[in-house]
Structure 1
């Protein structure tokens, strides 16, 4: 019985974990499927960014303290619903883009 309960707990935690690939889908519209585009022709290309750089940028956009290339307001709206776990997950996903 304990093994079943533990298995269910692990499975539910896994389902609740943020999915970077799913979160990135809304980013891909502007940044490209592999982060290869300048969003709206303005932003930096995010392909090749490490997770720490991406997480810091997203956190600052969410806080309203980052406005690179005039994208601050737009990006603040995009990341507003993201939790800290979401930011970490999408940052890790972006870091793995090839």
Structure 2
């Protein structure tokens, strides 16, 4: 019984993370596309399906103002400024799952 309960809790937590990631991604979709399939403003890489660790690192770099890929550093800094550590992980996991 404990294994079933734990499995249900983990499944619920995973869907919650994905739901939060989906909600966070709505802000990104305008430039990156609904599935992360677009080059934002014709400049960025396609982010859908990218490695989650790379996405986390990039988001943190934009947030810190130390990353300026394709000249988008200032724009992206504003977009990710309000994200906390957990939200960055959720967003990266969600984008990684897009295809």
- Specify the TM-score bucket, using the shorter chain as the normaliser: 0.7 to 0.9
Q: Deviations over 1:8-58 (max 9, x none)?
A: xx9xxx7x9781000000100000000000001111111220110100000
Partner Cα separation in structure 2 for residue 50 and residue 70 of structure 1? 21
Partner Cα separation in structure 1 for residue 49 and residue 93 of structure 2? 11
Match in the other structure for 1:88:
89
Report the TM-score, using the length of structure 1 for normalisation. Answer: 0.81
Match in the other structure for 2:66:
65
Task: List runs of 5+ in structure 2 lacking aligned partners.
Answer: 1-8
Q: How does 1:23-62 map to 2 (within 5 A)?
A: 23-62=24-63
Task: List runs of 5+ in structure 1 lacking aligned partners.
Answer: 1-9
Q: Which has the larger radius of gyration?
A: 1
Partner Cα separation in structure 2 for residue 60 and residue 48 of structure 1? 19
CA RMSD across the alignment: 1.8
Partner Cα separation in structure 2 for residue 57 and residue 19 of structure 1? 19
Runs of 4+ in 1 over 4 A off after TM superposition: none
